[in-house]
Amino acid sequence: MKRSDDDDRRAGDSIDEFVPARPDESSGDDSAGSVRSDGGTVGSESPFETTSSIEETRGDRVRRFFDEFVRTPWSILRGDWRALAGFVIVSVYVLMGTVGVYLVETTSPAAGPKLVGAFQTSEFPLGTTSAGKDILSLTVHSTPSIMIMMTSGAVFTVVVGTFFGVVTGYKGGLVDTVLSTITDVFINIPGLPLVIVLATILEEWINNPVTLGVLLAIAAWAGLARAIRSQVLTIRSESFVESARAMDLSTKWILSREIVPHLMPYIVVNMVNAARRVIFAAVALYFLGVLPFSDANWGVMLNNAYNAGALYRPSAYHWLLIPMIAISGIALGLILLAQSLDRVFNPRVRARHQDTGDGERLEPSSEDETSDMMNV
């Protein structure tokens, strides 16, 4: 059955009602015929060209910084007993290394009776050594050098290890080959012989706690770099990294804003482990006599106590136990603090404690709140 000319004309008219009229291509107005990426034409109003009429002030930036780096972390940590315990323990050692050295006087031989037991007199609460030195004074004045040594070694390990691991994992190619070769060389170098050789070469610098901390961590960064590289190989294929690369963002921006934040929990835990390794290595080398002796050091205290027969003399047990407790205490505090800081960098935990600006949290903090939100 053939359609009539009138039917074809009516069908064409009905379609034309829904198709907007095209601009006249023969007209001299080029702007009217230019089609934009959003489907409109140049000169027409578009929601893609709408800009915010509210400008972020300096006060807004300060409040956002305070909320992101102060209020939210504190909100997370205050509900975790491990964070509170670790913070208290580390704070005690920090106070010992800063304020305590001014409150507790340095000790000298024959400052008191020999081998006074711990908690027997108020004048020497932690007892004395076989030379009559105050063990409390020795312990307090040993803390600053240990803290500086620990911090410098941990920072060196994390900075160098993170740099090598992130760059080799993201760049690949010749950069990966060269930097991975350097990393493998440091992984296979024995740590203790290397430290002994460098301590001999750098004898003039070895008394500096910063230099000594870096020296003790000189080969520790390679293992961290290798572990971070393996994680970056997975992260660089994620959609958010591909999007940043498609937007032609710089490599520095992608590494610092997209990749490193996802590695922060792992980096923080390894930073604490590096600090603990530096403490143990320093005390062990001082105890063995590899590093120059100093009275204000926990390792030297252990060495002197051992040489004085503290292992089999009950009257000298406190001389051996006090530095051991000091070493174990700082290690325990760092472990507890690292376990709690892992939650600070967890995106879901941060969202649960972060305000949206009107006093509401982005996510519920309990199962009851979740049920209430689902029932709305």
Other beta carbons within 10 angstroms of residue 2's beta carbon come to 5
pLDDT of residue 368: 46
Give 185: exposed, middle or buried? Use CB within 10 Å, 0-12, 13-18, 19+: exposed
DSSP one-letter string for 289-306: T-SPP-SS-HHHHHHHHH
What tokens appear for 141 in the block? 């004045």
Q: Work out the pLDDT band at 62, boundaries 50, 70, 90.
A: confident
For residue 257, is pLDDT > 60? yes
Q: CB-based contacts of 218: which residues, under 8 Å, 6+ apart? A: 186, 191, 194, 195, 198
> Cα(first)–Cα(last) distance of the chain, in Å?
59
Distances (CA, A) of 224 to 163, 165, 331, 336: 10, 7, 19, 21
Residue keyed to tokens 């040489």: 307
46 pLDDT more than 60: no
pLDDT score, position 143: 92
Q: What is the mean pLDDT of residues 305-334?
A: 91
Q: Reply yes or no on whether the pLDDT at 246 is more than 60.
A: yes
Q: Helix, strand or coil for residue 170?
A: helix
Q: What is the pLDDT of residues 64-97, one digit of tens each?
A: 777 777 787 788 778 788 888 998 999 999 999 9
To which residue do tokens 């006599």 refer?
A: 289
Q: Which is more confidently placed, 240 or 156?
A: 156
Q: What is the mean pLDDT of residues 223-247?
A: 89
So what's the pLDDT on residue 72? 78
- The pLDDT, as a whole number, for residue 330 is 93
pLDDT digits (tens, 9 = 90+) for 122-160: 899 999 998 899 999 999 999 998 999 999 999 999 999
Give me 181's structure tokens: 């070769």
pTM of the model: 0.73
> Among candidates 148, 190, 88, 143, which has minimal Cα distance to 278?
148
